[in-house]
Each structure stands twice: as structure tokens, then as C-alpha cells.
């Protein structure tokens, strides 16, 4: 029931808690993919030196 509670987001207006949680989950997965790519590139860079 609490997942359906609403709040006011400064950019997106009224959002339900489940919408905000879903957004953050996807957003963090995108950052994890970026971190993995950077770590792999960094590893290759240091192996070549």
C-alpha cells in the first residue's frame, strides 16, 4: 500500500513511491555499467605501460 503513496518531485511533479524507486534502480544500473566500462578501460591502460 505504501508503494502507491505520492510525493512531489521538483522536476517531474507528482510521483508514486514505486515510480521513484523504479527510476532509481534503473538509474543506478546505468551508473554501474559506466563504472565497469571505465574500470576495464583503466585496467587496459595500465597493462600497456
Cα separation, 27 vs 38, whole angstroms: 17
Full residue range of the structural domain in which residue 11 is found? 2-48
7 — pLDDT class (breaks 50, 70, 90): very high
Buried b or exposed e, range 21-36, using 16+ CB within 10 angstroms:
eeeeeeeeeeeeeeee
Q: What confidence score (pLDDT) does residue 48 get?
A: 64
1 — pLDDT class (breaks 50, 70, 90): confident
41 C-beta neighbours (distance < 10 Å), count: 9
Residue 46: pLDDT over 80: no
Round the average pLDDT of the chain to a whole number and report it: 90
42 — pLDDT class (breaks 50, 70, 90): confident
Amino acid at each position: 500500500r505504501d508503494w502507491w503513496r505520492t510525493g512531489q518531485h521538483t522536476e517531474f511533479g507528482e510521483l508514486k513511491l514505486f515510480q521513484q524507486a523504479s527510476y532509481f534502480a534503473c538509474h543506478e544500473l546505468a551508473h554501474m555499467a559506466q563504472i565497469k566500462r571505465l574500470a576495464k578501460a583503466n585496467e587496459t591502460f595500465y597493462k600497456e605501460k
